[in-house]
């Protein structure tokens, strides 16, 4: 009888120890193939440097490819929640995919930290937080730069999906406040192989500046089409285009292009007073040591910032619950919402109950493509 009681006690102790040391499962949904691969692959490369443990708990990264497809993003999210029992989800890199994932993550009461500036209807982002800067914040920086360049009329050529729509709305709001006017707006699909008709219409309006709203390698095609039409005005690109692919594919056609970006892309060029300089340089140094000089990438920076988030919220959540439980997932969400002022490589984040975007208007940095490189715009 004493032996039986001892065995039971040992089993209980072992069970308690196992629960205390439960792994934290992190689901990752990235566009590793398809049109969004130029964004997802750099994120994956940065995640290869993710810590194996946080606050003494083993971290398991479960990385799935959404193939740049919203439907695949949804099925991946369901699998991560129902089969892999993840505690948190990172992804996706593409706005339409992240938007499709959001209701599934919310239904599963699992924290989703998106790597794209995804918008959802008001009140439906309880479980959704964003690592990239919001379009409103970046549009503020872009329009402020345009104002200094005496831009009065603007042409728009961008994706037909949520990323394009959110940027158009953000630009409409900012330009209206600054006495500017969007005189033409043309749209195209991510899968289009030509935008000649749209480029003709936008250039025919001869605006002072044209804003291209696209991502990664896809951002070069519309700009090349605009330049080929003989347009001589200013061209602006969004933060999803702040990748080496824009310069690699665009070549001489993107020289002189203004690109709004997070500070991580130009870490060394930031003034010493910039709050993100230290984190930005740390990111760039480690990433380029592993992947080669000049390989820095806006989206790889989001993976770096995700690590900062996890290092901050996991110890807080562990004080309330054990990994693998709904209580722990709730605690992670609450800790994220109350994380407070946090320095990212991409700016200063301060998520709150009423703001799951978090960045301030000082975040956006205007770059210009000069001699095939991104430099801070004068």
Kindly state the average pLDDT of the residues 4-19.
43
Residue 223, pLDDT score: 97
Say what the pTM is.
0.81
**Considering only 59-63, 108-112, 116-120, 334-338, which range has the smallest mean pLDDT?**
116-120
First vs last Cα of the chain: how many Å apart?
82
In which band, very low, low, confident or very high, does the pLDDT at 21 lie, cut at 50, 70 and 90? low
- Only one residue has tokens 């919310």, namely 106
- Residue entry with tokens 């690592």: 131
Q: Is the domain of 71 the same as that of 159? A: no
Cα 102 to Cα 89, 112, 122, 318, distances in angstroms: 10, 7, 13, 25
∠35-40-44 over CA atoms, to 5°? 150
Say how far residue 350 (Cα) sits from the centre of its chain.
Answer: 16
Residue 68 domain-assigned (yes or no):
yes
Check: CB of residue 280 under 8 Å from CB of residue 256. Answer: no
Within-domain flag for 233? yes
Pairing relationship of beta strands 373-376 and 153-159 according to DSSP bridges: unpaired
Tens-digit pLDDT profile for residues 151-205: 999 999 999 998 999 999 999 999 999 999 999 999 999 999 999 999 999 999 9
Whether 375 maps to a domain, the answer reads no
Asked if residue 157 and residue 81 are part of one domain, the reply reads: no
* % pLDDT > 90, the chain: 82
- pLDDT value at position 12? 44
In this prediction, residue 51 carries a pLDDT of 98
Q: Is the pLDDT of residue 340 over 70?
A: yes
Whether residue 356 lies inside any domain: the answer is no
Q: Which of 14-23, 131-140, 233-242, 288-297 has the lowest mean pLDDT?
A: 14-23
Q: Which long-range contacts (CB under 8 A, 24 or more apart) does 358-361 make?
A: 358/129, 358/130, 359/133, 359/134, 359/137, 360/137, 361/137, 361/140, 361/141
Residues 193 and 315 in one domain: no
Assess whether 66 and 82 both reside in one domain: yes
Query: Could you say which DSSP state residue 41 is in?
Result: H
Angle (nearest 5°) at CA 359 between 139 and 41: 80
Taking 80 as the threshold, does the pLDDT of residue 10 lie above it?
no
* C-alpha closest to that of 195 among 219, 161, 222: 222
- What are the backbone angles phi and psi of residue 368, rounded to the nearest 5°? -135, 145
Rounded distance between C-alpha atoms, residue 260 and residue 268, angstroms: 17
Q: What is the share, in percent, of the chain residues with pLDDT greater than 70?
A: 94
**Within 13 Å, how many C-alpha atoms sit on residue 276's CB side?**
30
Structural domains in the chain (count): 2
**For residue 129, is pLDDT > 80?**
yes
> Are 102 and 214 within one domain?
no
Asked whether residue 194 falls in the same domain as residue 204, the answer is yes
Give CA–CA dist 71/38, Å, rounded.
Answer: 19
State whether 122 and 21 are in the same domain: yes
- Do 123 and 171 have their domain in common? no
In a domain, 145, yes or no: yes
Within this chain, do residues 49 and 70 fall inside the same structural domain, yes or no? yes
* Strand ranges across the sheet with 88-91: 53-54, 57-65, 24-30, 88-91, 111-114, 128-130
User: Residue 28: in which H helix or E strand, if any?
Assistant: strand 24-30
Is pLDDT at 14 greater than 50 in this prediction?
Answer: no
Lowest mean pLDDT among 20-29, 198-207, 249-258: 20-29
Mean pLDDT of the chain: 92
Judge whether 281 lies within some domain.
no
Q: Assess whether pLDDT exceeds 60 at residue 2.
A: no
My answer on whether 126 and 139 are in the same domain is no
52 in a domain, yes or no? Answer: yes
338 within a domain of the structure (yes/no): yes
Q: Which residues contact 63 (CB under 8 A, 6 or more apart)?
A: 28, 30, 44, 47
Residue at which a domain ends, from 216, 241, 261: 261
Q: Please indicate, yes or no, whether residues 82 and 53 belong to a single structural domain of this protein.
A: yes
- Give the residue-averaged pLDDT of 63-70: 98
Q: Domain of 323?
A: 2-133+289-349
Tens-place pLDDT, residues 285-331:
999 999 999 899 889 999 999 999 999 999 999 999 999 999 999 99
123: confidence class by pLDDT, cuts 50, 70, 90? confident
DSSP H helix total and E strand total for the chain: 12, 15
With H, G, I as helix, E, B as strand and everything else as coil, classify residue 43: helix
CB 99 within 8 A of CB 162: yes
> In this structure, are 123 and 21 located in the same domain?
yes
Q: What is the CATH number of the domain that holds 345?
A: 3.40.50.2300
pLDDT digits (tens, 9 = 90+) for 216-225: 889 999 999 9
**19 confidence band (pLDDT: 50, 70, 90):** very low
Report pLDDT digits (tens) over 75-86. Answer: 999 999 999 999
């Amino acid at each position: 009888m004493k032996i039986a009681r001892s065995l039971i006690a040992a089993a209980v102790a072992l069970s308690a120890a196992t629960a205390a040391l439960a792994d934290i499962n992190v689901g990752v949904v990235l566009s590793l193939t398809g049109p969004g691969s130029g964004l997802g692959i750099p994120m994956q490369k940065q995640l290869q440097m993710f810590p194996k443990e946080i606050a003494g708990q083993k971290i398991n990264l479960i990385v799935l490819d959404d193939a740049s497809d919203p439907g695949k993003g949804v099925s991946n999210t369901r699998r991560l929640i129902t089969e892999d029992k993840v505690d948190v989800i990172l992804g996706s890199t593409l706005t339409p995919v992240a938007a499709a994932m959001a209701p599934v993550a919310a239904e599963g009461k699992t924290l989703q930290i998106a790597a794209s500036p995804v918008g959802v209807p008001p009140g439906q982002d309880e479980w959704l937080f964003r690592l990239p800067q919001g379009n409103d914040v970046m549009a503020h920086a872009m329009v402020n730069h345009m104002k200094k360049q005496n831009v009065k009329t603007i042409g728009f050529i961008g994706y037909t999906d949520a990323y394009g729509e959110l940027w158009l709305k953000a630009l409409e709001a900012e330009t209206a406040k600054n006495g500017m006017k969007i005189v033409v707006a043309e749209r195209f699909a991510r899968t289009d192989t030509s935008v000649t008709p749209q480029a003709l219409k936008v250039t025919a309006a001869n605006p002072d500046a044209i804003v291209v709203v696209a991502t990664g390698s896809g951002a070069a095609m519309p700009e090349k089409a605009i330049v080929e039409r003989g347009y001589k005005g200013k061209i602006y690109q969004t933060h999803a285009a702040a990748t080496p692919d824009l310069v690699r594919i665009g070549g001489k056609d993107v020289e002189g292009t203004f690109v709004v970006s997070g500070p991580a892309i130009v870490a060394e060029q930031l003034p010493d007073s910039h709050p993100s300089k230290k984190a930005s340089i740390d990111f760039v140094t480690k990433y380029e040591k592993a992947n080669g000089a000049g390989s820095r990438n806006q989206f790889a920076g989001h993976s770096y910032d995700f690590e900062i988030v996890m290092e901050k919220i996991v110890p807080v959540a562990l004080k309330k619950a054990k990994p693998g439980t709904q209580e722990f997932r709730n605690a992670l969400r609450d800790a994220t919402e109350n994380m407070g002022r946090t320095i990212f490589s991409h700016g200063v984040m301060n998520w709150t109950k009423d703001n799951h975007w978090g960045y301030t208007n000082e975040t956006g940095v205007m770059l210009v493509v000069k001699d095939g490189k991104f430099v801070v715009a004068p």
